[in-house]
Amino acid sequence: MSQNIAYDVALVGASPSNLTLAHRLVDLAQGPIRIAILEKGKSVGAHLLSGAVSNPRVLNKVFPNWKEDETFPLEGICKESYVTFMGAEKVEDAPRFAVPPHFKKEGYAILSVSDLAAWMADRLTEKAAAKEGVVVDIYPTFPAKEIIYKGDAVVGVRVDSTGDNAKDILHAKVTVFGDKGFVSRDLCDKFALRKNPQVWGVGVKEIWETEESYEGKVWHTAGYPAQPGLYGGGFIYGCKHNKLIVGYVCALDNDNPNLEPPQLLQDLKKSPWVQKMLKGGKLMRYGAAVLPEGGYYSLPEKFAVAGAMMVGDALGTLDIKRFSGVDKAMESGWIAAEVIADALAKGDTSEAALAPYKAKVMDSFIGKELFEARYFKQTFHTYPEILNDAFPAFAAGVDAGRGLFGGALAFGLSGPFRALKLLGARGMMENPSDRGAVAYKEDRTYPNPAYKKPEGAKAEGYDRKTVFTTADIVYYAHTHYEEGVQHIDEFDKNVCYSCINRYEGAGKRPPCVGDCTAEVHEVMEINGKRTHKMAFENCVQCTTCEIVCPPKNLRVNAAPYGSGPDFSNM
């Protein structure tokens, strides 16, 4: 990349949302157009992690022949889907009649988002080459580091191409942010776009090669190994070639400062039910990523400003009620492309020219489904008995052989019944009554040094070769960093000293240590002082540490040289 270069459109992140946008822009192009895609990973998809079971409604628009295309990276079509309640020793599938429609995934595409993005990028390059006057340049290993403004208009980004002070500037008429906050958070901060904070979950995931094929089978689990009060659950997806995706997601708005997400996944695998699937298998890969869970009430006030827009995860289009992320992210890119094409044709990329984007998104299935699910996240705070009492009772009933119904009877469901109705049990929340806007707190405000972890059931008798320490599991994330790369800022060591004293004084580790997915953060005795240290070479760039840091003293930046994990084929 030269020192200064100009494009019509610059896309920050080679995400499915931005790649859909680029495909649509190329399709709509009636004349010359120049598009740049900046990707911080060493290749497209290297930093994308999601084992998705996705509604193919947008795939059908962007790639009408994807089912017939032998090059398309399909992991399978869901043939059977289950909502499974887990005890430590036994499991029970929820009766089909009680499973809400949005949890029934039959016919959905089982995808690796990493592979999908790489495939989309290849097809995009081919499409652009076949159309006169269209230029699409994809820049792996070139992370956007800083937004460039002219007055209140975005005019491009500064790009880190070397890891030192020499940085290129990429100018664009429209810059689109599809990242999970590495630079899009700065746009939100400058223009105070997000009145309600985004709230996050973190997902950890492993890929196994198993003796038996589970292709086309999908399980979403509740209960074990979550301790009472934790919003979390497992997912198991059967893929082709005897590949099995096993993962766990937990919310970060939790009082426990030491969630240990990788160990929650290890505990899930200790279940005899999961052990049976893994018997004779081989662990292939590991990774972790955060998920924007705020939904409707965490959406920005504006989706575009002069010269810039947000799509996908930068916008916050994930619908956790439906586990619907990829389709909504892609649809946001599709809509953004049509607004951008119109703006470029008119020679006007002002805020007013880009403003129709928000109305179009909210009128689409994105806005309609996020609105319908607007109270889902908050329900768990409004009715804490769901996670503190009801789900543990269900799990205990399963383990005791009484089943879900027996667990419910043993507990009594007067309060949780209302909550389960709000959650959408038996489809009851398709048109919820309006109870006003929800106000979220930042996830960093939740970790409590005085938290006492409840005792829970533990699985026994598992094959110890199937479970790993967090230090060992990081090997399977295939992280690589150039010497000297230190991509996480610690703003004030004295703030860290104070945080360490606060949490260690209560017998806990600081949240950056206790919630880390890759053994990056640790506390060491240095010159008689308990000091925060970081093993940068382990980092999978999930940003969990930044999100849960109570004093807001950490920032995870996009690392240069394509440094970080390799999530290809995950």
As beta bridge partners, residue 522 has 533
* pLDDT above 80 (res 408): no
Q: Could you give the CA distance from residue 381 to residue 321 in angstroms, rounded to a whole number? A: 15
Task: Give residue 2's pLDDT.
Answer: 54
Residue-averaged pLDDT of the chain: 93
Residues 552, 509 share a domain: yes
For residues 97 and 144, membership in a common domain is answered with no
Spatial CA neighbour of 548 closest among 517, 507, 504, 527: 517
- Confidence label for 379 from pLDDT (cuts 50, 70 and 90): confident
What are the percentages of helix, strand and coil residues in the chain, rounded to 5?
A: 35, 25, 40
DSSP labels, 173-229 = EEEEE-SSSTTHHHHHHHHT--SS---EEEEEEEEEE-SS--TTEEEEEEETTPPTT
For residue 444, is it within any domain?
A: no
Looking at the fold, whether 98 and 223 belong to one and the same domain comes out as yes
> Would 132 be classed as within a structural domain?
yes
Considering the domain architecture, whether residues 248 and 261 belong to the same structural domain is answered as: yes
Residue at 457 is within a domain: no
- CATH label of the domain that carries residue 280: 3.30.9.90
Q: Is the domain of 60 the same as that of 169?
A: yes
- Claim to verify: residue 163 and residue 52 sit in the same structural domain: yes
> Is position 54 within any domain?
yes
Residues 223 and 340 in one domain: no
- Which token pair is 334? 């599709």
Q: Are the CB atoms for 296 and 321 separated by under 8 Å? A: no
Instruction: Answer yes or no: pTM beyond 0.85.
Output: yes
The yes-or-no verdict on residue 428 having pLDDT over 70 is no
Number of folded domains that form the chain: 4
pLDDT in tens, 222-255: 999 999 999 999 999 999 999 999 999 999 999 9
Over the range 187-212, which residues count as b (16 or more CB within 10 Å of their CB) and which as e? Answer: bbeebebbebbbbbbbbbbbbbebee
The Cα 232–Cα 248 span in angstroms is: 7
Q: Is residue 455 part of a domain?
A: no
Please determine, for residue 150, whether its predicted confidence score (pLDDT) is greater than 90: yes
pLDDT, position 82: 97
Mean pLDDT of 494-515: 98
Q: Is residue 408 part of a domain?
A: yes
Q: What's the domain range around 341?
A: 4-67+113-197+296-372
Residue 570 lies in a domain: no
The CA-to-CA distance between both ends of the chain, in Å, stands at 29
Are 278 and 392 part of one and the same domain? Answer: no
Looking at the structure, do residues 32 and 100 belong to the same domain, yes or no? no
Residue where one domain finishes, among candidates 266, 292, 318: 292
φ, ψ for residue 236 (rounded to 5)?
Answer: -135, 120
DSSP letter at 465 equals G
CA distance 38 to 36: 6
Domain CATH number, residue 26: 3.50.50.60
252 and 149, same structural domain? no
203-226 confidence digits (pLDDT tens): 999 999 999 999 999 999 999 999
Are the C-beta atoms of 24 and 62 separated by less than 8 Å?
yes
Q: Does residue 427 sit in the same domain as residue 545?
A: no
Residue type, 543: T
Question: Are 18 and 158 members of one domain?
Answer: yes
In this structure, are residues 468 and 528 in contact, taking their beta carbons and an 8 Å threshold? no
Last residue of a domain, one of 372, 400, 429: 372
Does 569 fall in a domain? no
Domain termination residue (choose one: 270, 292, 314): 292
Instruction: CATH number of the domain at 507, please.
Output: 3.30.70.20
pLDDT, greater one: 457 or 140: 140
The angle at the Cα of 522, spanning 145 to 478, to the nearest 5 degrees, equals 60
**1 vs 522 pLDDT, higher one:** 522
